[in-house]
Structures are given as structure tokens and as C-alpha cells.
Amino acid sequence: MKISYFPGCTLKTMAKNFEDSALASLSSLDIEMKEFKRWNCCGTVYSLTSDDLIHQVAPIRNLIRVKEEKDTRVVTLCSMCYNTLKRANKLVKEDSEKLDKLNNLMDREDVKYNGEVEVLHLLEILKNEVGFSQIAKKIKIPLKGLKVAPYYGCLLLRPPEVGIDDPERPTILKDFLGSVGAEAIDYPYETECCASYHTVVNVDLVVERAYDILNSAINRGAEAIVLSCPLCDFNLDNRQKEIKEKFSDFKGIPIFYFTQLLALSLGLDEKVCRFELNFVDPRPLLRSKHLIGEV
Amino acid sequence: MRTEISIKNTKSKFLDKVEELSGENIYACYQCGKCSAGCPSISEMDISPNEIIRLVQLGEEKEVLNSKAIWICASCFTCVTRCPKGVDLAKIMESLRQITLRKNVDYVNPLSISKEVLSQVPQIALVSSLRKFSS
């Protein structure tokens, strides 16, 4: 299978561990991710005011690039990119007047957009097209004994019309964990917001929220968290430094991108996981479970 | 909290503007409080989400626009998912922020963000923060 791929900004910088582990895993599952040319920032947040069309240009322009390369589907890994592209696409598919206005705004584009491209998240491809049962068959190193709490955050699930799973009772990450042989931990905070962009000017708010989320998972027996959003990752992983400064009882917990666990379980070279880019080093945990070799 | 209610305010342009910007029917809300019950940020807010929408219904422009709550809301869409009346409160909150931002008033001045923070946070954090907080 070959599919058009939108990386987004953060996967090319801070979240290289997300991108590299994904590309290596998919290649071993015979999926070719074709990064389309001249992609631009999606805008990160979907514009919520009815008259604000100018902020729909960035996501729709990406979909025009996909269309130009004669593709009808595009896959993203970042939850924020997914949500923004998916919602902008839905808007223009349902509102022909806005679509016309947008096409007029982008008068220097050679190709007009008419809602032809389908936006997908990688987890949807793994679940619906590869199949978790097929993944389970290809696993070389089952992540046996690894207790992982799924963290969905907001934008994979909400609002429900673009979510990839039930917004209140999602199972897609739990099912994924099952396919790679890990044990999924239930806890009440799996869909709670991490405070998102407040991390720029209101670190305290993020610290409080992340502490609640992580501690809830730890208290339920989780040894690690798995997620799919580079901003959630920053808040739950990097901000553990600030959490420890504020809460002396906080023990810390490694955070994985789901693709890192996929790559590891497929038996790929540990290097593609780029664990050195994780803020909390997950390698001592993986060594203790004999999932990676000794140093 | 003490709020003076006047019938005049309920016919204000402010209400029309919020309805136009959000595309939502403000009066669909029947104050069940489900949005506030599930809001992960409510402990940080000075006015709870269901109170915000009630104050908008009453045309209390100043009180709503000067609140901290509208800036604390990070559009997590939990209330949107759960509202039994289908009111998209995230769109209403964004409209309230936009009324201020469109007067060229920043909630966060981009120049006030330190170089240290700029070098630390991922791009998606920075872009989304400035989209929500700067004009």
C-alpha cells in the first residue's frame, strides 16, 4: 500500500522519534508513506468562528497539494494536524459557498479543491486496513509484561464528528497495545485535556493537569504512557521536570509514541525508535523487561 | 458574584455578534451545567462555563469579555461532546476571545515570550498559543 503522508512541523523537529519510528514500522508492514511536496503548517488549531475563512487556507492548501499528486487519501500522525485537516475538509465538503470563497481566495493555485481528499490518522490505517490481528501475527518481540496506559487527549476523539473512536469509551489504543503484546491499563484520565498550548505562557496549569493524569495512571499500575500527539507528549514528558519541582512525591513515568512501541515489537533496530529524544528515558524500563539489550 | 441584570442588555448587539461569530443558538442552553461538570479547566476559571453562556444570554458583555475563563478554555471539546442540547460552547468561547482580539488587543503579546521558552516548546504549541491569544 502506498499513501500520501502529511508530517506537519513538529514531526520534523522535536518529534523525530515519532516520525522515524513510524516510517520504519510502516515500511516493514509494506506501507509506503509518500511525503507530498510543498506541504505547509496546517494551522494547528481549527478555526472556530464562522466567518474566519482565511485560517482554512493553510489546511486546504495541503489537500490541494495531495490532489495535485493525484492522490485521494492523506495520512497524518500528529493528532492536532489530523483534527485541523479533517475539520477543514469537512467544512468545505458541507458548505459549497465557503468552498467557492476559499477557492477564490487561493486564486494563484492551479488546481481547485472540491473536497476530493480523505484525511486519515495512522491509527485508523493500522486498525482498519492492516488490522490489529495482522499486526499481532507480525510481532517478533511481544511487549509481554509491559503495563501501558493509553492517553488519547482531545483531538483524536473530539469533536465526535471527526473523532477516530468513541469519544467517551475509546478502545483503539488499548486494542493496539493488545496487538503488540502489551498490557493496557484503565484509568479515568485517558481522554482528559493536557492543557495543550497553555504550556507556552501558563506552565503551572500544565503541570497541575499533567500531574493528575500521570499520577492516576501510575496509581493504577502503569509503567508507561502511550500517545499520538507531540504537544501532549511535550506536556506529559518534558514537563515532568517541572512536575517534580512542584510535587515531591511524583515518581516519573516514561512516555512513548505508539509508533515506538510498534517498531520495537516488530523487532526493528532500536535506533529507529530514537529513544534518546524521549525526555524521560524509557530504556531502563525496557531493559528491565528484557525488551531491549543491555548497554 | 453580583451581576445587575437589565432587559436592555438582552437586546444588545453583543448577543447578535456572539451568535453570528459562533453560528450557535445561545438560547438553546437550558443551564443543566453538564459543560461545567466535565470541564477539566474549571478550577482555574473565575466564571464557570455554564455561567458564561448565561451571562451571554443576559447580554453581560463586560463581565464576560473581562473574564479569565474565556482564555483558560483550551478548546478540548469535552463540553461540546456532552451537551444534551448540542450547543458548541467551544465556538462560543472562541467568539468571545475573537471579539477582543479583533480589536487588535493581544491577550499574550508574542514579543513577551522569552527566547528560552521559544527554544524549548514545540512549534505546534507556539503556533496554537499565538492563534488563540494574539490578534
Q: Are A264 and A242 in contact (CB under 8 A)?
A: no
Predicted ipTM of the assembly: 0.95
DSSP A242: H
- Nearest chain B residue to A81, by CA: B124
Write the single-letter amino acid at B64: V
Question: Can you list the domains of chain A with their CATH numbers?
Answer: 2-121 (1.20.1050.140), 132-288 (3.40.50.11810)
CATH superfamily of this structure's domain B9-103:
Alpha-helical ferredoxin (1.10.1060.10)
Residue-level pLDDT at A281: 98
Residues of A with CB under 8 A from a CB of B: 8-10, 13-15, 41, 43-45, 47-52, 55, 78, 80, 154, 158-160, 167-168, 191-193, 195-201, 205, 209, 230-231, 234, 238
Q: pLDDT tens digits, chain A, 295 residues: what are they?
A: 999 999 999 999 999 999 999 999 999 999 999 999 999 999 999 999 999 999 999 999 999 999 999 999 999 999 999 999 999 999 999 999 999 999 999 989 999 999 999 999 999 999 999 999 999 999 999 999 999 999 999 999 999 999 999 999 999 999 999 999 999 999 999 999 999 999 999 999 999 999 999 999 999 999 999 999 999 999 999 999 999 999 999 999 999 999 999 999 999 999 999 999 999 999 999 999 999 998 7
Question: What residues in A contact B22, CB-CB < 8 Å?
Answer: 48-50
Query: What DSSP letter does each residue of A47-96 carry, written as one string?
Result: --STT--GGGHHHHHHHHHHHHTT-SEEEE-SHHHHHHHHHHHHHHHH-H
CB atoms within 10 A of CB B87: 22
B63–chain A nearest CA distance, Å: 21
Which residues have a Cβ under 8 Å from the Cβ of B76 and sit 6 or more positions away?
A: A154, A158, A193, A196, B40, B41, B90
Tell whether the model's pLDDT for residue B9 goes beyond 90: no
Q: Min CA distance, B61 vs chain A (Å)?
A: 18
Domain with CATH 1.10.1060.10 in chain B: 9-103
